[in-house]
Amino acid sequence: MGEFNEYFILGCSAIGAGLAVIAGIGPGVGQGIAAGHAAAAVGRNPGAKGDVTSTMLLGQAVAETTGLYGLLIAILLLFVKPLLP
């Protein structure tokens, strides 16, 4: 019975890690949309390229943190096994 519990915990950890990695989809989509809007803004007003680019990069850096948090959780679930006896 103890072996089943160990495999069950490992399986649930793998499923949780997979779900945590799905958190990377949101930042990817958001960054693509932000880059597209920034390119359109620079196309309309080329003089504001520096301001648009710096604002876009700051927003993308903030958005990327959620993806990195998801990756961190996935790595913790896969490689750190505190629930195993």
Mean pLDDT per 10-residue run, the chain (85 residues)?
80 91 88 91 92 90 89 90 71
Assigned domain for 38 exists: yes
Helix ranges restricted to H, the chain: 2-21, 25-44, 49-79
Domain that holds residue 59: 2-79
Assigned domain for 84 exists: no
- Give the per-residue pLDDT at 3: 78
The type of residue at 46 is P
Assigned domain for 45 exists: yes
The model's pTM is 0.74
Q: How many CA atoms lie within 13 A of 62 on its CB side?
A: 6
Assigned domain for 10 exists: yes
**Count of domains observed in the chain:** 1
Assigned domain for 48 exists: yes
- Give the per-residue pLDDT at 1: 63
